[in-house]
Amino acid sequence: MNLRHFAVAALIAIALSGCSGEDKALAVAPVAQEVTFDAVGHYCGMNLVEHAGPKGQIFVNGRDKPVWFTTIKQVFAYTILPDEPKGIAAIYVHDMGRATNWDQPEDGSWIDARKAFYVIESQFIGGMGAEDALPFGEEAKAQEFAKKHGGRVAVFADIPENYVLNHEDAAQGIAAGQPPAGAH
C-alpha cells in the first residue's frame, strides 16, 4: 500500500467515524424555550397559555423549535407512541417544586424531564381537566406532595405505559367537571 492509498483510507475512516453515535453524546442539548402566545399543544392544538398547570416541550433532532405539550402525560405519550419521532434531542418539563404560580409556572423553571421526579396517580388535575403527572426537580418535594395529596413518586423511565395511555381516567376527570388546575 503506497502513501496515496493510505491517505485515502485514512480520510474514509475519519469520515465514517463521524457516523458513529459518539457525536450525539458530544452534541449540546437545545436550551428550553419559554411558553409564548404562539406555543400550541401538539395533541390538542390549543394555546398553552390558555391551560393551567405544568407544561412540557420536546426537541426533535433536526428541528430548532420544540414540540409543545399542555400536560405532562402528553410528554410521556409522545415518547411511547410508535408514530411519533424517536430522534429526541431534549425533553423539558416545569419544575413544580420551584413554581410559585401553579397555573402558569414562571419562566426559567424548566428541568430535564429525564432527571425529574413525578408524582403520579394523585389528586392533581392538569390543564386538560384530568389527573396528570406532576414533575419536581427534587425527590423530597415530590414525596412531600404525594404525602399530602396522594399518589406515588416515579422517575421518567419508570412511568407505566398504562398510566400514560389510560383514556378512561381522562374521560372520567372531564365528565366529573373537576377544576382544571392545582391541588396544591
Whether residue 45 lies inside any domain: the answer is yes
Residue 6 lies in a domain: no
Q: For residue 58, which phi and psi values (nearest 5 degrees)?
A: -125, 130
Residue 37, CA distances (Å) to 49, 136, 151, 181 in order: 6, 25, 32, 19
Total domains present in the chain: 1
Domain that holds residue 107: 34-175
Amino acid identity, position 63: R
Residues 18-65 pLDDT 10s: 544 444 445 788 999 999 999 999 998 889 998 899 999 999 999 999
pLDDT at 33: 95
Is 81 within a domain? yes
Residues in the chain predicted with pLDDT less than 50, given as ranges, are 5-17, 19-25, 170-184
Q: What is the CATH number of the domain that holds 94?
A: 3.30.70.2060
Per the domain annotation, does 149 fall within a domain? yes
pLDDT for position 129: 82
Residues near 97 by beta carbon (within 8 Å), at least 6 away in sequence? 136, 137, 138, 141, 142
Task: Determine the Cα–Cα distance for residues 184 and 182; give it in Å rounded to an integer.
Answer: 5
Greatest Cα-to-Cα distance within the chain, rounded to the nearest angstrom: 79
